[in-house]
Structure 1
């Protein structure tokens, strides 16, 4: 990810933006956690995560049956700063998503 235009296009969808911000503040999440937090279908969330990976915003790693997503370690500093600022200025929206996430039973363990 080197182009700001690509970065902003990738985050122009509310589902992709919310998933990215939630992953940014939580550090790492799997599809099932995002399905719960975003209250959307697994196929839709998976499609959006695939697009975010293709854009270079997310990395993924498989651990057993789970695939965990995190912010790409190759994301430019300017993009990370944008995610930091956006998450900080949208605390209320993120808290709603985090509340849904925390209410999830049987969350997979990342480590």
Structure 2
């Protein structure tokens, strides 16, 4: 697989996509309900941005029952993985990323429970 540098940096340039990618870098996989809860956006808003991330192949998804889980695409070239890794390392202890992680940690009814929030 190949990704254009302009596509990667365009993805990182939008707050919702950046926050989504940083959460996925921290947690190997998350479902849409976890991402919407953590970031505090509506499901249609997040789904639109996830579709953009899928289109440029930055994220991959899998279905498990009623859940669709997203992860950073493991097939990304090394340079793109390095950019995401360094971005995550530089931002994970700053806001809004700290708040996103705290919100996710406090989320009731995570997908492994009977209902998703």
Q: Could you state the TM-score of these two structures normalised by the residue count of structure 1?
A: 0.93
Deviations 1:60-81 (A, max 9, x none): 0000000000010211111111
Q: Unpaired runs of 5+ in structure 1?
A: none
Q: Which structure has the highest helix share of the two?
A: 1
Q: How many Å separate the matches in 2 of 1:27 and 1:75?
A: 15
Q: How many Å separate the matches in 2 of 1:3 and 1:60?
A: 20
Q: Which residue of 2 aligns with 1:104?
A: 107
By how many angstroms is 1:11 displaced? 2.1
Count residues in correspondence: 109
What stretches of structure 1 move > 4 A for 4+ residues in a row?
A: none
Q: Could you state the TM-score of these two structures normalised by the residue count of structure 2?
A: 0.88
Q: Unpaired runs of 5+ in structure 2?
A: 113-117
Q: How many Å separate the matches in 2 of 1:104 and 1:2?
A: 33
